[in-house]
């Protein structure tokens, strides 16, 4: 996998909205943070547009994303929010210029679509907070995002969890939002599952739907090909009468596999949304005292 160049003070970065509509105040707040990092943020022409649920028409969102992908002066792309919409445009974009000079794409939730697309192109990206969530993100998580973008890559040390599967693995990290991963399975956008460490998280889903998605993916035999699993946050779950919480559902699905599993990684739709370099080779050690995750440099 190819890693985009790390950022330098003075670099130009783009803010674009490929999915749901966002209020301009969130963009303004993010501009202040990015400038405090020494960056020069540029806002896509339609970043604050609105067409029903979406941040402008499909054509407008394609225009902004294509601009950000192609402009040689832009060194990173911050997707402003998730929601829904990336699937409508991801395959209508031309990635030829971007592949010749890759840059960081940052986001989570619906932006899992773009992470998966870049995974198929062999380019790393960052699952991390977006301008819509900057206000509510833990300052340490934002600091870690800045550090990662500027090349200061540090390891994670995660507290132990009773559902963890102990072990050591070194493999490529893939994944993102479970609902989107389920939507894209068996499509041209599907991220790698062969010999990978999979990360999953979700928000606002009915617990029976979480079980259904995981059962469905298990029947495709994709989970047997993994080398490890990282379970992030599952927040605002619905249908609490299901009889199991989200982690219990995941634990039941993966209890038959012997590879290392880390529960409780602080990433997803929560204030503690720490960055993950998708596509990177990670070394994960799950021990009784906790989990250590290191990224290749």
Q: How many helices (H) and strands (E) does the chain have?
A: 10, 13
Is 54 in the same domain as 176? no
pLDDT on residue 297: 80
Domain that holds residue 203: 156-295
Same domain for 95 and 171, yes or no, is no
User: Do 140 and 195 fall into the same domain?
Assistant: no
Tally of domains within the chain: 2
Q: What is the pLDDT along the chain (297 residues), one digit of tens a residue?
A: 999 999 999 999 999 999 999 999 999 999 999 999 999 999 999 999 999 999 999 999 999 999 999 999 999 999 999 999 999 999 999 999 999 999 999 999 999 999 999 999 999 999 999 999 999 999 999 999 999 999 999 999 999 999 999 999 999 999 999 999 999 998 988 876 678 999 999 999 999 999 999 999 999 999 999 999 999 999 999 999 999 999 999 999 999 999 999 999 999 999 999 999 999 999 999 999 999 999 998
Q: Specify the pLDDT at position 169.
A: 98
SS3 state of residue 14: strand
Together in a domain, 113 and 169: no
The answer to whether 254 touches 115, Cβ cutoff 8 Å, is: no
DSSP 8-state symbol, 110:
G
Structure-block tokens of residue 145: 């995002």
Question: What pLDDT, on a 0 to 100 scale, did the predictor assign at position 193?
Answer: 67
- pLDDT confidence of residue 184: 95
């Amino acid at each position: 996998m190819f890693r985009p160049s790390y950022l330098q003070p003075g670099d130009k970065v783009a803010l674009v909205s490929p999915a749901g509509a966002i209020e301009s105040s969130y963009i303004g707040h993010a501009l202040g943070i990015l400038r405090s990092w020494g960056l020069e943020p540029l806002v896509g022409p339609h970043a604050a547009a609105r067409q029903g649920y979406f941040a402008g028409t499909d054509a407008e969102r394609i225009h902004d994303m294509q601009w950000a992908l192609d402009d040689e002066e832009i060194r990173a792309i911050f997707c402003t929010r998730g929601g829904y919409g990336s699937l409508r445009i991801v395959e209508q974009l031309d990635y030829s210029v971007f592949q010749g000079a890759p840059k960081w794409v940052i986001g989570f939730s619906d932006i899992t679509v773009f992470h998966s697309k870049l995974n198929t192109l062999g380019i790393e990206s960052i699952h991390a907070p977006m301008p819509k969530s900057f206000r509510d993100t833990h300052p340490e998580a934002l600091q870690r995002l800045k550090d990662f973008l500027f090349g200061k890559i540090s390891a994670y040390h995660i507290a132990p969890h009773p559902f963890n599967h102990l072990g050591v693995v070194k493999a490529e990290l893939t994944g993102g939002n479970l609902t989107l991963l389920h939507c894209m399975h068996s499509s041209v956008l599907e991220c790698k599952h062969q010999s990978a460490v999979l990360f999953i998280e979700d928000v606002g889903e009915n617990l029976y739907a979480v079980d259904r998605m995981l059962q469905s993916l298990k029947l495709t035999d994709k989970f047997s090909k993994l080398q490890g699993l990282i379970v992030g946050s599952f927040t605002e779950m619905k249908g609490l009468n299901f009889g199991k919480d989200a982690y219990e559902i995941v634990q039941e699905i993966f209890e038959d596999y012997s590879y290392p599993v880390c529960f409780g990684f602080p990433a997803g739709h929560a204030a503690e949304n720490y960055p993950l370099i998708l596509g990177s080779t990670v070394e994960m050690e799950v021990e009784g005292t906790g989990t250590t995750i290191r990224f290749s440099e």
